[in-house]
Amino acid sequence: MENASAILFDTALGRCGIAWGPKGVLAVSFPEPSEAETLARLSKRAGDVALVEAPPQQIARIIDDIAALFEGEKRDLAYVELDMEGVAAFERDLYALTVDIKPGETKTYGELARALGDVSFSQRVGQSLGRNPWPIIVPCHRVLGAGGRMTGFSAPGGVEAKRRLLKIEGAIGPDLFD
């Protein structure tokens, strides 16, 4: 990628990262154990990135919305322009369906697979969401296993991070340990 920039930013969940280029957002990273690991995750999709001190206005808005979402505010990130260069048609269609899942709502892998043409695509849906370079913008945490099971979340913290995000958004209620 050429002309890719990135910035790390603080949220209620920790220090996240976002990378962008001329065609839109290239990658987002949940907090990793270190800033170097957060940058490495961004670089997997965005290539070499130049760290900036202050993002352009449209990226600052996205950062504000991500931070607010992590504080429990219902923010819809469907407006974000994503750079989908190199993303296959199946994933593009899947990510578009996933973006349509609003805060406080969930869908299952099977529901998304059916919407893509065949429930047998469920495993492929899960694998594609596991490679999602835009977590939270493409809200893969809102996709559950059959019967609402908490399965498959590749972000740091795994299924517990998924559960926490869904609680913050009001998609699931508190449990015995809250």
Q: What is the CATH number of domain 89-169?
A: 1.10.10.10
The answer on pLDDT for 29 being more than 70 is: yes
Which pLDDT tens digit goes with each residue over 81-138? 999 999 999 999 999 999 999 888 999 999 999 999 998 999 999 999 989 999 999 9
At the fourth CATH level, which superfamily is domain 5-70?
Methylated DNA-protein cysteine methyltransferase domain (3.30.160.70)
- Cα–Cα distance, 74 to 165 (Å, whole number): 12
The answer on pLDDT for 16 being more than 60 is: yes
pLDDT of 50 reads 93
Domain assignments of the chain as residue spans, ordered by start: 5-70, 89-169
Percent of the chain at pLDDT exceeding 90: 66
The answer on pLDDT for 70 being more than 60 is: yes
Tell me the two tokens of residue 26: 């290239």
Out of 140, 166, 168, 172, which one is annotated catalytic?
140
Residue 175 binned pLDDT confidence (cut-offs 50, 70, 90): low
- Cα–Cα distance, 81 to 101 (Å, whole number): 17
pLDDT of 172 reads 76
> Which residues, in sequence order, are CB contacts of 88 under 8 Å at separation 6+?
none
Quick check: is 140 catalytic?
Answer: yes
What letter does residue 31 receive in the DSSP assignment? P
CA contacts within 13 A on the Cβ side of 165: 31
The answer on pLDDT for 161 being more than 80 is: no
Q: What is the DSSP track for 39-61?
A: HHHHHHHH-S-EE-SS--HHHHH
The answer on pLDDT for 62 being more than 90 is: yes
The answer on pLDDT for 1 being more than 70 is: no
